[in-house]
Structure 1
């Protein structure tokens, strides 16, 4: 999912550089949503790992 956020971010940057405001705004919005979904899933995953008491993998 992080890959999709980065793809939409790159699309937004390219569209912004070329002057396509609507496309850049939409792609940036999608990238933001995917990024925050990814962060929430990361936090949930870390909390579940801490609650289960798993040993850290190095």
Structure 2
């Protein structure tokens, strides 16, 4: 996962926490790699943010 993608995920989670909303991550083309899901989960816990992962076609 690229550095810019990691930064984008962290910024999204931080914004969700600040605004007391849930971050939404949409993935097309199937389920995200385990590495990506774990990164989101780990950083959401650090930020104290809620999140959802949705698969879109």
* TM-score between the two structures when normalised by the length of structure 1: 0.37
Larger Rg: 1
Q: Which has the higher strand share?
A: 2
Q: Which has the higher helix share?
A: 1
